[in-house]
Amino acid sequence: MAAAAAAAPPSSSSLAPPEVPMELHAGNRDRLVAALRAHLSASGRPLRGLVLLQGGEEQTRYCTDHLELFRQESYFAYLFGVREPGFYGAIDIVSGQSILFSPRLPADYAVWMGEIKPLSYFKDRYKVDMVFYVDEITQVLQDRFSDHGKPLLFVLYGKNTDSGNYSKPASFEGMEKFDSDLSTLHPILTECRVIKSDMELALIQYANDVSSEAHIEVMRRAKPGMKEYQLESIFLHHVYMYGGCRHCSYTCICATGENSSVLHYGHAAAPNDRTLNDGDMALMDMGGEYHCYGSDITCSYPINGKFNSNQTIVYNAVLKAHNAVIAHMRPGVNWLDMHKLAEQTILESLKNERILHGDVTDMMAQRLGAVFMPHGLGHLLGIDTHDPGGYPEGLERPKEPGLSSLRTIRELKEGMVITVEPGCYFIDALLIPARDDPVSSKFFNWEEIEKYKSFGGVRIESDVYVTAHGCKNLTNCPRETWEIEAVMAGSVEDGPLEYRPLKTERTNVVSLKCLASFYI
């Protein structure tokens, strides 16, 4: 194992962490102000009030003094881009002016944590109109925004439809001196986050580029005898060392063998610690995050670098579904229909290989697609891996098996970024009930199913941007079996070290020459 790792040439990257223009967040604030003004006007309400958000706070590990690495609260990051904890931010709806409130730090902060920045630093860095201290919030807002009685504060409170958790409304000493509106801001700000600006898209593209590189590096170095956590380590090293991604978008899923049928493998009770065996399939679901903007990419491949017949069948079924969905994506397309298209494509492929038999329409009616793909086809992506806005008011989550796991059933809009992640898994907890059901059981060739008992699963996931007339795949990983085998075999061509994502609308094209140049 050690010799194999040592024999691999050193990795590198042609990418460099980009500077992030704070105009990105100014643009986000402008969109919110415009949306709030339009809402107030349509509702016959007076044009007055301030948006007030409370940023994230540093958290210690339980009762200890160990501070966990801070990551900004996502709505606050969207509007202000502030990387430090303990801030508040306000936006005047009438003028559009923005205000930051910085924590007043004690003198000994400079000894332990570094320089205490003046307020002018934050004003210049984050391109806001005014900066004061947090303990001045009440006085500043009363002095400047009380022309029409008590200032009205629009604070953030609403349900995240992915987690079921509620956002935390801003709170500060003296808040009782203001009128507060807890219901208006959340749905409007959430909808603003659904559509990405060009500057946001550039950061998501960068996170995809460096994460795609890291996935290729993992693929190239994976060998039987290694541990799953070593693959995770390779990925984490690459996105941080070359991409400046100190955070990942989520806990890495580095599943091999039967573990790849555990949809959220990699958590504390299943910590990516299995030994890789010759003949295993790997399912690597990992994504780097840059300036809070993330990526979410899954690659599946055989650990020994060669697809066997069963692996080829399942992999190509999923790849066909992945490509079919991307080919159909454009504004106006309903995401529920895309999920069903992926299910149908996988079921047809399994029928063609005699793993299933019978009418595919009947299988769909019986919800057999959920036996092999119990999760949703994809989710909105941005500052959060599961970006909010999947179920705006008026949309209800379906209740049928598989469909109930969909994180959105919206119609696609230009400017959305959404993951496309079909999968096919062999999960005893789902296959056994299907076998016991007299209606479902008749569709299965149980003798063939038995051959896949310890197979695990395959997932292929790309991050896709909806354009005016189609879509663009932001992810740049090898997808065809021959590409993957060539990468894992170490095929290279002469040329400089270079990584150039090659992208077309609707699909993702990666040439072997491009892939090979990454390994030199």
Q: 345-404 pLDDT, tens per residue?
A: 999 999 999 999 999 999 999 999 999 999 999 999 999 999 999 999 999 999 999 999
Q: 245-281 pLDDT, tens per residue?
A: 999 999 999 999 999 999 999 999 999 999 999 999 9
Task: Supply the DSSP symbol for 136.
Answer: G
pLDDT-derived band at 494 (thresholds 50, 70, 90) equals very low
Residue ranges matching CATH 3.40.350.10 in the chain: 22-194
pLDDT-derived band at 179 (thresholds 50, 70, 90) equals very high
**Nearest alpha carbon to residue 334 among 295, 291, 368, 377:** 377
What does the pLDDT read at residue 491? 75
CB atoms within 10 A of CB 453: 10
Task: Output the six-digit token pair for 499.
Answer: 């990584």
pLDDT-derived band at 344 (thresholds 50, 70, 90) equals very high
Q: What would the mean pLDDT of 1-19 be, rounded to a whole number?
A: 64
Query: At which residue do the structure tokens 């107030």 appear?
Result: 40
What does the pLDDT read at residue 385? 98
Measured between alpha carbons, how far is 177 from 512 in angstroms, rounded to an integer? Answer: 65
* Residue 449 Cα distances to 256, 320, 353, 441, angstroms: 19, 20, 11, 12
Of 1-10, 152-161, 294-303, minimum mean pLDDT range: 1-10
Instruction: Kindly tell me if the per-residue pLDDT of 424 is higher than 90.
Output: yes
Residue ranges matching CATH 3.90.230.10 in the chain: 198-489
Q: What would the mean pLDDT of 205-223 be, rounded to a whole number?
A: 98
Q: What would the mean pLDDT of 276-300 be, rounded to a whole number?
A: 98
Residue 193 makes CB contacts below 8 A (sequence gap 6+) with 75, 78, 382, 383, 387, 388, 389
Q: 429-476 pLDDT, tens per residue?
A: 999 999 999 999 999 999 999 999 999 999 999 999 999 999 999 999
Measured between alpha carbons, how far is 498 from 379 in angstroms, rounded to an integer? Answer: 31
CATH number of 198-489: 3.90.230.10
Residue 505 burial (C-beta neighbours within 10 Å; 0-12, 13-18, 19+): middle
Q: 104-139 pLDDT, tens per residue?
A: 999 999 999 999 999 999 999 999 999 999 999 999
Q: 309-341 pLDDT, tens per residue?
A: 999 999 999 999 999 999 999 999 999 999 999
Mean confidence (pLDDT) of the chain: 93
pLDDT-derived band at 12 (thresholds 50, 70, 90) equals confident
Measured between alpha carbons, how far is 482 from 512 in angstroms, rounded to an integer? Answer: 9
pLDDT-derived band at 14 (thresholds 50, 70, 90) equals confident
pLDDT-derived band at 5 (thresholds 50, 70, 90) equals very low
Q: Which class does domain 22-194 fall in? A: alpha beta
Task: Output the six-digit token pair for 25.
Answer: 């967040």
Task: Supply the DSSP symbol for 457.
Answer: E
Q: Are 333 and 362 in contact (CB under 8 A)?
A: no
Measured between alpha carbons, how far is 514 from 495 in angstroms, rounded to an integer? Answer: 10
**Nearest alpha carbon to residue 434 among 363, 376, 375:** 363
Q: What would the mean pLDDT of 14-39 be, rounded to a whole number?
A: 97
Q: 140-171 pLDDT, tens per residue?
A: 999 998 877 789 999 999 999 999 999 999 99
What does the pLDDT read at residue 147? 74
